[in-house]
Amino acid sequence: MDQLLAMRAFARVVEAGSFTRAADSLDMPNATMSKLVQDLEAHLGTRLLQRTTRRVTVTPEGQDYYAKATRVLRDIEDIDTSFNVARGKPRGHLRIDVGGSTARDVLIPLLPDFLGRYPDIRIDLGVSDRAVDLIGDNVDCVIRGGPLDNSSLVARHIGDAVLITCATPAYLKQFGVPAYPDELKNGHRLVSYVSTQNGRAMPFRFLRDGERTEIKIDHRIGINESNAHTAAAMAGIGIIQTFTYAVQAALKEGTLVEILKKWRPPAYPFHVVYPQSRYVTHRLRVFIDWLVEHFPAKVRGT
């Protein structure tokens, strides 16, 4: 038995919550994953996991072994990393998840600089607006905007986006240019961004002279993906509220026009988030530090 590989396999099953997801994350057959854990249990002479057709449960002995095994695995990675640090060459595989428009308009245009600095780091970029299970999906970090509500995660602030309200010139010619937020309730067509977490439409928010206003009315169409949300406005379906970086080119070209500029919403914070339980590798650390340096100006739309 390769005990180190078996320890890694067992730890991934605990973190992923299933043999199938753990096997996928380590790129090995499900049968191999199961055999490694069985061999580890036989070697230790104790049951680490309770398996049923529907779920995997960690036994008390398994919880104790997991806590000790992950410390060993982190120490091993720390030893390997220290040699890479000494050579000044972080290397390895980074799995990053980011929302659609943030990937297209902010992160991907910046990535050539990072890849040029760190040629030995390989990146898998997951792009979607859905909520990601960092442990189960084996993701190193996610880049997300908005409030944070998971205390089991570590978050580092990497900038603030500017939210604006806009529509096409043709739409504004047909329906008029609202002078106040409340006028959106009078015959205007709103295109709402729908949260992938709870399925609810995000309200249109406004701020002026310290006074906050929220507009909650039935939308003409609701969309749960940021690039498609912007495309709906470009098609003239209605008014959207979105980030400046997502529509910067359209505003310059005049294909979209900002409205209610004096009532721009509060700044929208962005964070890079990673699990508390996961060791921060040198490659992840340099990526986070690079984000802190380069992401803020780009996410502001400047």
pLDDT tens column, 53-91: 678 889 999 989 988 888 788 777 767 766 655 556 788
pLDDT tens column, 136-176: 667 889 999 887 776 668 889 999 999 999 999 999 999 99
The pTM of this model reads 0.73
Distance CA 139, CA 128 (A): 13
pLDDT tens column, 240-273: 999 999 999 999 999 999 999 999 999 999 999 9
Q: How confident is the model at residue 22 (pLDDT cuts 50, 70, 90)?
A: confident
